[in-house]
Amino acid sequence: MAEHELYEPVQNFVNLRFAPSVHPKYGFQYSIVEVTAKAGIYGEGQWTRPDLSLVTLWRNKYAPTLHLDLYGFEVKALGSASLLAVHEALAQGRLLHYSYLALHVDKENPLNSKIRESCRSHGVGLITFSNPRNPDCYNILESAQRGRPSLNAIDEFIESRFAESTRRKIEQLIRTGAYFDEESSSS
């Protein structure tokens, strides 16, 4: 499969397995993943466009504040993974809280151990998958370390890469605090 053909299956994995795995146990989470390979402003620098981006807006049940996290996923097709891809994901990390490299691997194209080492040392997350269409065939080998992008960078990223409807939804949830009162709603 070509890289662009992998976006949709990886998007399904992020929706069905990855985003739920970062959901607070008792709290609330709104998450949305979009293909951002071609989104963004031209001329704003090299390696600033993760192939997929996930935004999660979440809060714990007994915590008063909402948090926003940005995740980027750099997807590589079979046989196209290299150390350069790690640096690409690392560079994207300056705009994100978490940066992941997602690699399609099989028996003929196994994971190069140097890639895994490099991901670990740079705090880049590493995901491999053998069957892209089966979300249960994905392995999170390395968890990404949390980066500290500036608030302006976060605003810029969301403003320039996510769809207008997503941005409106995020704004609305921030305004309302994303509280769904269980008592009043069950009446």
The count of other CB atoms within 10 Å of the CB of residue 51 is 23
CA-CA distance, 110 to 94, in Å (whole number)?
28
Give the residue with the Cβ less far from another protein, 65 or 187.
187
Q: Name which of 172, 169, 163 is nearest 34 in CA terms.
A: 163
The count of other CB atoms within 10 Å of the CB of residue 12 is 16
Give the residue with the Cβ less far from another protein, 9 or 125.
9
Give the residue with the Cβ less far from another protein, 68 or 91.
68
Give the residue with the Cβ less far from another protein, 152 or 187.
187
CB 29 within 8 A of CB 58: yes
Amino acid at site 181: D
**Least distance in angstroms from the C-beta of 136 to another protein:** 5
Residues near another protein (CB under 8 A): 8-9, 11-12, 15-17, 20, 25-26, 28, 30, 32-33, 131, 133-136, 169, 173, 178, 180-182, 185-186
**Least distance in angstroms from the C-beta of 180 to another protein:** 5
**Least distance in angstroms from the C-beta of 119 to another protein:** 23
CB 57 within 8 A of CB 46: no
